[in-house]
């Protein structure tokens, strides 16, 4: 047998292991995605079929009444969630990107302690931060303000964003910064014209996670809400839940509609997210 040749038996065993791993992967994926499928199934189920002893595994007699209700009732909540999500992204990038650049390249005194403090900040439970914000906003009269939720959600996203930017920008060659200095660019011009354009993966990663945190937030929204009109979709869904009855097809239809933006963003940005999260993991 030639050196390096693969024996037929070894090839068959390798193929068998490959099919086995593929089967396990498909099974685990199906188990994880089953709640999503059931959410869609219930959103298409009629009210009279909702409490059947043997529920239908497929929408045999589908109805789109739940989605019609969502479009009639939930659009203001969706707009508020979109506004809060985009505002959180803007605040997070405005704070995290310059901070990450400073810690990675300017190396200020106390930078290690600050990085450790940011790591510890991510370990604080959200409900504790929510109660603190409630006391502050109550004294300032800022409850039920959409931009108050932007500030609250940004406290979760900014520490994560700074750590991602530090890890990514640490891998940018110092020669780029030196060349910018030779051309007469200051620290801010170097950051804006040189560092940010090559940090696209980190920008997309931080933006995506900041938006998803704000879009799916319930703790801050429920704690800082005073019953006004500017509610996110995570609270708008509760208008279908009562003490005696619940409109389950409308609830699940709202959940499906609210999941679409997050799913689309994840699909579009997955390549950038993979590169941004793993940046700095391998050193030359």
Q: 197-248, pLDDT tens digit by residue?
A: 888 888 988 999 899 999 988 888 888 875 666 788 888 887 777 655 677 8
Contact 229, 103 (CB under 8 A): no
Contact 164, 100 (CB under 8 A): yes
Per-residue pLDDT averaged across 163-179, rounded?
Answer: 87
Using left for φ > 0, alpha for ψ between -120 and 50, and beta otherwise, residue 278 falls in alpha
Q: What pLDDT score does 223 carry?
A: 85
- CA distance linking residue 271 with residue 166, whole number of Å: 20
Taking only the tens place, the pLDDT of each residue in 108-128 is: 888 888 888 888 888 888 888
Q: What pLDDT score does 91 carry?
A: 95
Of 210 and 145, more confident: 210
Reduced to 3 states (helix: H, G, I; strand: E, B; else coil), residue 241 is strand
Q: What pLDDT score does 46 carry?
A: 81
Q: What pLDDT score does 125 carry?
A: 83
Other CB atoms within 10 A of residue 282 CB: 7
- CA distance linking residue 32 with residue 236, whole number of Å: 26
Q: What pLDDT score does 284 carry?
A: 42
% of the chain beyond a pLDDT of 90: 10
Look at residue 191 and tell me whether its pLDDT is greater than 50.
yes
Q: How confident is the model at residue 281 (pLDDT cuts 50, 70, 90)?
A: very low
Average model confidence (pLDDT) across the chain: 81
Taking only the tens place, the pLDDT of each residue in 61-111 is: 788 888 888 888 888 888 899 999 999 999 999 999 999 998 888 888 888
Q: What pLDDT score does 87 carry?
A: 94
| CA atoms within a 13 Å half-sphere pointing along the CA-CB vector of 221 | 21
Q: What pLDDT score does 282 carry?
A: 43
> In this structure, what are the phi and psi dihedrals at residue 241, rounded to the nearest 5 degrees?
-110, 120
Q: What pLDDT score does 75 carry?
A: 86
Taking only the tens place, the pLDDT of each residue in 14-60 is: 555 678 788 888 889 888 888 888 888 888 888 777 777 777 788 77
């Amino acid at each position: 047998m030639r050196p390096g040749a693969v024996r037929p038996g070894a090839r068959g065993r390798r193929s068998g292991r490959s099919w086995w791993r593929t089967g396990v992967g498909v099974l685990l994926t199906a188990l994880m995605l089953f709640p999503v499928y059931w959410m869609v199934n219930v959103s298409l189920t009629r009210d009279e079929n909702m409490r059947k002893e043997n529920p239908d595994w497929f929408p045999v007699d589908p109805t789109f009444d739940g989605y019609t209700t969502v479009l009639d009732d939930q659009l203001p909540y969706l707009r508020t969630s979109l506004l809060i999500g985009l505002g959180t992204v803007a605040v997070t990038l405005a704070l995290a990107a310059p901070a990450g650049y400073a810690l990675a390249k300017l190396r200020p005194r106390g930078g290690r302690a600050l990085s450790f403090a940011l790591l510890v900040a991510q370990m604080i439970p959200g409900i504790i931060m929510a109660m603190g914000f409630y006391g502050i906003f109550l004294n300032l009269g800022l409850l039920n303000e959409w931009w108050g939720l932007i500030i609250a959600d940004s406290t979760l996203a900014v520490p994560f964003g700074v750590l991602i930017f530090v890890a990514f920008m640490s891998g940018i060659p110092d020669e780029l910064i030196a060349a910018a200095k030779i051309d007469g660019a200051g620290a801010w011009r170097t950051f804006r014209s040189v560092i940010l354009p090559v940090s696209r993966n980190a920008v997309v990663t931080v933006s995506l996670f900041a938006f998803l945190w704000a879009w799916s937030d319930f703790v801050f929204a429920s704690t800082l809400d005073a019953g006004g009109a500017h509610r996110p979709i995570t609270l708008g869904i509760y208008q279908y839940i009562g003490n005696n009855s619940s409109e389950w097809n409308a609830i699940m239809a709202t959940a499906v509609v609210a999941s679409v933006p997050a799913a689309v963003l994840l699909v579009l940005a997955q390549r950038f997210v993979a590169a941004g999260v793993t940046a700095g993991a391998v050193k030359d």
